[in-house]
Each structure stands twice: as C-alpha cells, then as structure tokens.
Amino acid sequence: MRSPRSRSLPTCCLSPYARKGVRGFTILEVCVVLFIVAVLFIVAVPTASHLMDEEKLQGPIRELQTFAMTARRNAMMENRPYEVLLLNNSYILRPVDDSKDSGKRPLTYGLPADMTFAIQRLGDREFLKKTDASWFFSPNGLCEPMKFLFQRKGDWVRFRVDPLTGTIQTEESFIQ
C-alpha cells in the first residue's frame, strides 16, 4: 500500500517553496494585518498631535521655572537681588544691580512667536498683559508671588508660583 505522501502531486510541478514544505501568508491575512495597523495609526495620530501641542505650551513654562530657580539660587549665593524681566517675547535673568559684574551677560530665553502670557500680581484682580514687567528675587530666597497665564492659539495654562521656593504650585490647563 502506498503512503499518503506518495499520492500527492509530483514534485516537478510544484514551486521550490512548496517542495520544501515552507508555508507563507495569504494575501487575505496580509490585508487583515495592514487594516489593523491602519486602524491603530488612525487612533494614535490625534493623541500624539495633542501631546505635541501640550509640549509646545509647556516648554516656555519649564524655561520660566528654570529662570526662577536660577534667580533664587543666585540671589541667595551672591547675597544680592535678582530679577527676571518678563518682556513681550522673552525672559531675561539678571542681577538688579549689575554694576558689580558688568562683563557678565544676562541669561535670555525667546518665546515662540505664537505664544503669549499674562501675569497677575498679588493685588491685581485679573491677568494683565504687561509688555515689560520684572519679577523680583530677594537675597533671602523669597520671590514676589505671581500667577501666570500662558496662551497658544486656543490652548492655555494657568499656574501660581510659590514665593518661598520659586516653583510652580497649582496648575490648570485647557488644551484642545
């Protein structure tokens, strides 16, 4: 009696892959996998773009916090007041009395073109868009208490800075 293997097609008529017994994916299986990958991509792209918008808004805020911590540290170490100038399109960190080291250049950070911010000082009722304001850091480590509102297109972040540590304390945001 012949074995079932001997009843198959003659090997001369089969492709080299079929002769070796190698199996592959059908076109239907490949299409199903590509469809699943496309669905995952469609779901992931809006989420990733939302994260990118949030990062574009958070970058200048992190930079402002770095300036605040540096101003506080320098004021305490050098025993002299520092200030962060809050300009329309940039921040500048410098000592209040810069006559001691006139050769030292102040730190500067330029805001992105589509970014705006407003500040609310302790006695203010609402956020004000001041073109030139200064944020004072005294030699004892305290800073002027302030609230900030950063806006980019329709997105915004509002936060308060702790006057004792110079760090962001409360934060609210709306990002579309």
Domain ranges of the chain: 57-174
> Cβ distance 90 to 110 under 8 Å?
yes
Length of the chain, in residues = 176
CB 84, CB 71: distance < 8 Å: yes
Mean pLDDT in consecutive groups of 10 residues from the start of the chain, 176 residues: 55 58 80 90 72 80 91 92 91 84 79 89 87 90 90 89 84 78
* Predicted local confidence at residue 106, as pLDDT: 86
Closest CA to 137 of 101, 176, 93: 93
Average pLDDT of the chain?
82
d(CA 3, CA 8): 10
Full-model pTM: 0.69
Q: Which CATH number fits domain 57-174: 3.90.1150.10, 3.40.50.2000, 3.40.47.10, 3.55.40.10?
A: 3.55.40.10
Contact by Cβ (8 Å): 135, 63? no
pLDDT of residue 174: 80
